[in-house]
Amino acid sequence: MCGIVGYVGFQDAQTAIVSGLKRMEYRGYDSAGIALVNERGIEVRKKAGKIANLVQELEDHPIAPSHQGIGHTRWATHGGPTDENAHPHLGATGRVGLVHNGIIENFASLAAGLAADGVVLRSQTDSEIVAHLLEREVLVGHSLVEAMRRTVVQLRGAFTLVAVDAQSPGEVVAARRSSPLVVGVGQSEMFLASDVASFIAYTREAIELGQDQIVRITPDTVEVTMFDGTSAVTRPYHIDWDLSAAQKDGYDWFMRKEIFEQPKAVADTLLGRIGADRQLVLDEMRIDTAHLRTIDAIIVVAAGTAYHAGLIAKYAIEHWTRIPVEVELASEFRYRDPIVTSTTLVVTISQSGETADTLMAVRHAREQHAKVVSICNTNGATIPRESDAVIYTHAGPEIAVASTKGFTTQLIACYLLGLYLAQIRGTKFGDEVQRLVEELGSLSGKMDEVLDDLDGVLGLAEQLRDAEDFLFLGRHVGYPVALEGALKLKEISYTHAEGFAAGELKHGPIALVEKGLPIFIVVPPKGRDQLHDKVVSNIQEVRARGGRTIVLAERGDADAAAFADVFWPLPIVPTLFQPVLAILPLQVFACQIATLNGHDVDQPRNLAKSVTVE
């Protein structure tokens, strides 16, 4: 959510900043702007709507050449998406320019203080207030770094602030609290950004910034200190993907490309997980095995698609470890006074590693002395840094707002965690763990099988493009798949869809069934208790009432196929692993429906990739 770019160096700053903003469009935004420092002072251009509007504004009203500046894509919180509310914001004299991600919780009292001093605000944002406060400190003679330090102590909330001073050529200064910011280290140039994607075309060397840190960049230096002025520890790292990984490679949408990248992403998530002794190894698990043997409860905390991955994880981890598992929505977790102790393991799932609700859950859990394991795709993000251990998914960049490969690689990471706990606790024999890990290794090839046979999915999307309602049903691990399938369709096609546990059908949802209603049913493999037969009965129930049944079941399941209007066969895998395959045609179906109906698949309305405010 929102995107920030800061640049200082030898290049044309406008080019570097605008290209960086474009590469962060996937984060979601409703306005964009840029501020450059040149011989005229600070020049600002900003427009509501897409970056294309900003580019047109820059063509109509050019800015003098510059090698120093800041840019921003905004997601409206305080004040609507207007030109006036777009960032950057200037102080009263125009000497200081600032962009801001996050929310300033005490903005009302700060605004009242500024008004009492005669300051007239030009926008309805909380961000402009910070520009005035910062400029006030600069005008009394403080350096931009010292002014930033004196300003942040006045603020409550989560924020990233990036600023320039018209009278301080060759530097950009930023501050970070509970909102993402990373430094890109180039040759005679430096970058600040919300996401490494913004500068990956220029450098793959980065420095992660910690909580409550201030950074000053010049073309050749990076200086990082804490809010209180003391020295700070930083961690340089190399970005292990390049610009080509963030390009479409001939696909019409990033989402479609990322769907087809899933077999490789799953294989990459599994790389290096088996040691020479055939034992499962998780190098990022920095929690002592003796402590893990004392764990008596696990709480999985996540939001959106990651929450659905967590629901599937519950079935697997409980089955393999015999430890009770709860799955919590991150936004609800700390507000319900959860029971968390030193023998509770909290597992957080976040693709970006910056999800605000999930980050707050991490902090709450650690305050209760619980150990936290994070599952994340983003090296150097806040959530893994503040956790006791991390399992990186190594999925590469996921640009589309609707998560696809994020979901399947999160599932693999959850399976690895469950099997690792089973291994060290002795609830599974070594050969059993090895066999299951080998089954995981085979999933990549089976995913290719599913993705190689999608003609029926694409054809069905053409038939159902005008349908107004969809139902998704599943049992056991198929239930979260139904939830995720419905979510994907809602997110990108704006079509009403609901996911239900199939066993709940007669407890209400069956009232929705009418002639022609498309109903997707995920059927568990045969041999899983009586679940298979019960779901087949559900298929018959909705078909008898006129529903159009689209059935996902393992290849050769004649019982399920007999009552299916449309049958999508899946390769045979253990029940717990079926979601990795079953979700694929549902992702493709949602993508195709949205495409046929002319929607922006990668940037659906009102949504952002990473929700970095509560």
Q: pLDDT of 320-335, one tens digit each?
A: 999 999 999 999 998 8
Residues of the chain with CATH 3.60.20.10: 3-245
Contact 195, 71 (CB under 8 A): no
Q: Rounded to whole angstroms, how far apart are CA atoms 239 and 248?
A: 19
Answer yes or no: is pLDDT of 24 > 60.
yes
**pLDDT tier, 532 (very low <50, low <70, confident <90, very high otherwise):** very high
Among residues 47, 257, 314, 609, the one annotated as catalytic is: 609
Which ranges in 322-429 belong to alpha helices (H)? 330-333, 356-367, 382-386, 405-425
88 upstream amide cis, omega within 30 of 0? yes
Answer yes or no: is pLDDT of 148 > 80.
yes
For 3-245, which CATH superfamily applies?
A: Aminohydrolase, N-terminal nucleophile (Ntn) domain (3.60.20.10)
To which residue do tokens 């003796």 refer? Answer: 290
- Give residue 196's pLDDT: 85
Answer yes or no: is pLDDT of 136 > 90.
yes
Residue scoring higher pLDDT (179 or 514): 514
Is 50 a catalytic site residue? no
Among residues 2, 376, 414, 591, the one annotated as catalytic is: 2
Number of H helices, E strands in the chain: 19, 24
The rounded Cα 6 to chain-centroid distance in angstroms is 22
- Give residue 156's pLDDT: 87
Contact 423, 405 (CB under 8 A): no
- Give residue 611's pLDDT: 66
Contact 331, 303 (CB under 8 A): yes
Q: Rounded to whole angstroms, how far apart are CA atoms 42 and 98?
A: 11
Residues of the chain with CATH 3.40.50.10490: 251-450, 455-596
- Above pLDDT 70, what percent of the chain? 97
**pLDDT tier, 489 (very low <50, low <70, confident <90, very high otherwise):** very high
**pLDDT tier, 250 (very low <50, low <70, confident <90, very high otherwise):** confident
Is 2 a catalytic site residue? yes
Torsion, Cα of 479, 483, 484, 489 (10° steps): 140
Give the mean pLDDT of 217-224: 97
Q: Rounded to whole angstroms, how far apart are CA atoms 268 and 581?
A: 17
Which ranges in 171-303 belong to alpha helices (H)? 254-260, 262-270, 289-292
Answer yes or no: is pLDDT of 155 > 60.
yes
| Closest by Cα among 392, 412, 318 to 350 | 392
For residue 470, which phi and psi values (nearest 5 degrees)?
A: -140, 145
Q: Tell me the per-residue pLDDT of 292-305, one tens digit each, with 9 for 90 and over.
A: 999 999 999 999 99
Contact 88, 43 (CB under 8 A): no
Rg (CA), the chain: 25
Q: Tell me the per-residue pLDDT of 561-613, one tens digit each, with 9 for 90 and over.
A: 999 999 999 999 999 999 999 999 999 999 999 999 999 999 898 887 666 55
Which of helix, strand or coil describes residue 99? strand
Taking phi over 0 as left and psi of -120 to 50 as alpha, with beta for the rest, 608 belongs to beta
Q: Quickly name the fold that domain 251-450 has.
A: Rossmann fold (3.40.50)
Contact 233, 44 (CB under 8 A): no
- Give residue 379's pLDDT: 75
CATH architecture of 455-596: 3-Layer(aba) Sandwich (3.40)
